[in-house]
Amino acid sequence: MHISPCGWYCFQLDSPYVTITDTQEKTEIKANDFSYVIELLCARKEEIVQPEDISQIHEDYLKNTRFKASKSVMAENSFGVHYYLTRSSEKTRPYTIVCHLFWSQYCLFLHFSGDNERYARALPETLFNLLQTIQPLTFDT
């Protein structure tokens, strides 16, 4: 189990294909073959986050960054962490995925950037495992 530097969440990622590095500001998951990087940044809000809030934050991010979205999905994992994920077009270089996750008063921003040709083998498994195992370590109300 990997615990975030802020201590607000953790995740299970047992993959020989990645290296996890923490700084005060973020967690980076890098493919050992340098084909992709996943950055995780967390923030605490003063009030409980509602799905429509995170949806608006996500849509504003896409608009402000001129993200060329191909597909978006909103879901929830078994630990009660909701997420809103959007991927770029397959033709976009580098291939990018942005995801806002939330629970209680916490928001987690996930940014994936990778080489279109080389990420295909390890990314789907890594990203799926990450999204399914992220779990809260705190529930302020």
Domain ranges of the chain: 2-136
**CATH number of this structure's domain 2-136:** 3.40.1000.10
**What SS3 class is residue 130?**
helix
Summarised one tens digit per residue, pLDDT across range 32-47 is 888 888 999 998 888 8
Which two three-digit tokens encode residue 27? 């967690």
**Does the pLDDT of residue 90 top 70, yes or no?**
no
pLDDT (0 to 100) of residue 27: 93
**Does the pLDDT of residue 95 top 70, yes or no?**
yes
The winner for highest mean pLDDT among 22-31, 90-99, 119-128 is: 22-31
Provide mean pLDDT across the span 50-76: 87
Cα–Cα distance measured from residue 7 to residue 76, given in angstroms and rounded to the nearest whole number? 21
The terminus-to-terminus CA distance of the chain in angstroms comes to 25
What strands lie across the sheet with 69-76, from one edge to the other?
A: 18-22, 27-31, 36-44, 106-114, 95-103, 82-88, 69-76
pLDDT (0 to 100) of residue 120: 54
Provide mean pLDDT across the span 82-88: 89
Residue bearing tokens 């504003």: 60
**Does the pLDDT of residue 4 top 80, yes or no?**
yes
Q: Which helix (H) or strand (E) holds 122?
A: none
pTM, 2 dp:
0.83
Residue 78: pLDDT band (50, 70, 90) is very high
